[in-house]
Structure 1
Amino acid sequence: MPTPPDARLDEHHPAVRAWAEPPGLRRRGVGWFLILAFGCAWVPWFAVYLAGGSLDDPVIQLLTAAFVPALAACVVRRWITRQGFRDSGLRLNLNGSWWHYAAAVTIPWGVLIFAVLLAAASGMWTRDSTELSASSWLYLAAGPLICIALSPIFWGEEYGWTAYLRDRLVPGRPILTTFLTGLVWGVWHWPLPWVGYFGGDAPVSDAVWGMLLWLPLSILLEFLIGWLWSETASVWPGAMLHAGSNMVASLGMMLVFGDAVGITGTTILLCAGLTPFVLAVVLTGHTGGKRARTR
């Protein structure tokens, strides 16, 4: 028997439509999505590295990684399951959801502030160890605009992991499927530390810790992105939050801390900064979403 859908979600929500798919069709779609998402990223990553390139190059990242999950979802929707793209989360659905967009573009600020305070309180960083330039302050002040401007790039992952995969892994069980989606998403990143993502001089310990920490980081992010998805039925707030996590919270910490914390320390602080927001979502019972109107 299929898992009954969460009655709080509108019948036209993409999640409810995903849960209603025949099990065989759903399994075939998920299987092919994972094969394409992993294969079409991992093979080019190692090919580029063996050819002398490096994944710390933003252009190479865009060409080999940024849009692979979305392309995998599109291929599956068009040619594997033939379900098309109706109600697949592409609409903004701003009506009644504006504050979710506001949360998506401002939470990264909160994550950054919490992480900086934690680093200062724990002695990992002192204020006099680095000094922000005027351009760095301006960049951080533009955080919400950066989330919006870069959301089309991070849509490339969210249209795959969130708008396609999460509702099909364990239908109707939002907490479990969030853990599993985050786990899959984290494992997908595993080759990156070994193909130059952290730069050519990164020690092996950073690569190993990067692999391990990508799991809790992805799970924590997926809780917030999944909340936005279930509330709005749109992939765009999650893409904005994802952009903010990378380009406002994480990059912001690098600007603030300089070399004082390191790659591993930054990732740990990013996880710590996300945790209060995830707890707020879980403790208020919003992991499954409310009735998100899509029409």
Structure 2
Amino acid sequence: MNPTNPAGRSGPGLVPFLVISFVGAWVAMLPLWLEGLRRTSAGQGTPRLAALCMILMMLVPALTAFGLTARSRGPREAVRVLGLTRATPWRHEARSVAVALTIPPALTACGLALATPVGWYTPAHLPGPATIAPLVLSALVSVPLYFGEELGWQGYLLPRLLRHGRIRGLLIGGAVWGVWHVPMTALGGSYPGHPVLLGIPVAVVTATLLGTVIAAVRLSTGSVWAAVAAHLSLNEFALPLTGDVSARLVDPLLAGPLGVSTWPAGVLAVLVVWLGHRRRGAATGPSAPVAPPPSEVPASATERDRRPPGRASTRPLP
């Protein structure tokens, strides 16, 4: 891994992906801006138009990643290199997904433990089956949406950012994820009732921490599906459960997975990721340069990957 690579050498395909993904996000949310819709309270429901716009926005990264990869490698190869097919044994995939599902609720619980003594959160009861069952159903239905995001962020963007070094690449990816949400955040999507100039910076910091953890899950497990599970768990379990077990309306800026009270747990998680990387680096010696993203490896190099063990090969991810 070569952390000294200049930003301009992130590889072909990075700039088009970012431009299309960001423009696509704004286009998807444009109807809400034209309608003047804005979320002003945490208790406010989601209108159908807003739900549709958010669905379209979540699909933009995956469609962009698939289109750019298919253009250079063909549709069939794009399915493989972006992680649409299972890359590890199913038992490993299942364990990775199971672990990933627990991470956002664990970080949220740590944050709520800090928010409760200062009066930002008032727990009422533990969630029961009647509370959990609808969330599970919603999560199962929503899997394609989260895969739509993570296929772009973890399948396409992350390998290109790793050229700047593992930890730096993870942090940059998290920050990009936070800025990408601005069209929704500015409408009160994450922090209703708060000024835009406060909500956007808080959202970017939160996304940088959580996005770094999600990307680290993807690298440590080798599974894009684990990243999907972590993202799904964040939105479909950690967020709603925070409100469901509270005795009063929760301000998401203060408490919950997106609240500032969860930042210490997020910082600690990022520190654990960094220390783990340092330990592996000390044990194995200097890291090798990061291989080019799959969509940039020429066909001849792909053929070399199929040589017998002992021959050099190019791998898309460490």
Query: Which one is further off, 176-185 or 42-51?
Result: 42-51
Residues in 1 aligned to 2:79 and 2:270: alpha-carbon distance in whole angstroms = 30
1:111 aligns with 2:124: no
Residues in 1 aligned to 2:136 and 2:266: alpha-carbon distance in whole angstroms = 17
1:43 aligns with 2:43: no
SS of the equivalent of 1:89 reads coil
Q: Which amino acid aligns with 1:66?
A: M
Alignment of 1:83-98 (within 5 A): 84-92=78-86, 93=88, 94-98=90-94
SS of the equivalent of 2:12 reads helix
Contact 1:151–1:243 under 8 Å retained in 2: yes
Q: Which amino acid aligns with 1:118?
A: L
1:245 aligns with 2:234: yes
Residues in 2 aligned to 1:152 and 1:141: alpha-carbon distance in whole angstroms = 19
Structure 2 partner of 1:14 = none
Unaligned runs of 5+ in 1: 5-18
Contact 1:88–1:163 under 8 Å retained in 2: yes
Q: Deviations over 1:59-90 (max 9, x none)?
A: 32444311111111011112257573333222
Residues in 2 aligned to 1:273 and 1:64: alpha-carbon distance in whole angstroms = 31
What is the CA distance between 1:198 and its match in structure 2? 5.2
In structure 2, the CA distance between the partners of 1:272 and 1:139, relative to structure 1 (3 Å rule), is: farther
Contact 2:65–2:156 under 8 Å retained in 1: yes
Q: Which amino acid aligns with 2:117?
A: A
Query: Which one is further off, 173-182 or 262-271?
Result: 262-271
In structure 2, the CA distance between the partners of 1:223 and 1:107, relative to structure 1 (3 Å rule), is: same
Contact 2:110–2:265 under 8 Å retained in 1: yes
TM-score (norm. length: structure 2): 0.70
Structure 2 partner of 1:59 = 51
Match of 1:227 among 196, 216, 240: 216
Cα RMSD (Å) of the superposition? 3.7
Q: Deviations over 1:126-146 (max 9, x none)?
A: 44xxx45966x6435887887
Unaligned runs of 5+ in 2: 40-45, 285-314
Contact 2:243–2:249 under 8 Å retained in 1: no
1:122 aligns with 2:118: yes
Q: Deviations over 1:150-178 (max 9, x none)?
A: 43321111111111111113416111111
1:184 aligns with 2:176: yes
Residues in 1 aligned to 2:108 and 2:79: alpha-carbon distance in whole angstroms = 36
What is the CA distance between 1:220 and its match in structure 2? 1.6
Residues in 2 aligned to 1:138 and 1:277: alpha-carbon distance in whole angstroms = 31
1:211 aligns with 2:195: no
Alignment of 1:111-190 (within 5 A): 111-127=107-123, 131-132=124-125, 138-140=130-132, 150-171=142-163, 173-190=165-182
Structure 2 partner of 1:8 = none
In structure 2, the CA distance between the partners of 1:196 and 1:142, relative to structure 1 (3 Å rule), is: closer
Contact 2:146–2:232 under 8 Å retained in 1: yes
Q: Of the two, which has the highest radius of gyration?
A: 2
Q: Deviations over 1:11-43 (max 9, x none)?
A: xxxxxxxx9xxx98x633111111110111112
TM-score (norm. length: structure 1): 0.74
State the percentage of identical aligned residues.
Answer: 25
Structure 1 partner of 2:66 = 74
Contact 2:108–2:262 under 8 Å retained in 1: yes
What is the CA distance between 1:279 and its match in structure 2? 3.1
Contact 2:177–2:207 under 8 Å retained in 1: yes
Match of 2:266 among 274, 285, 295: 274
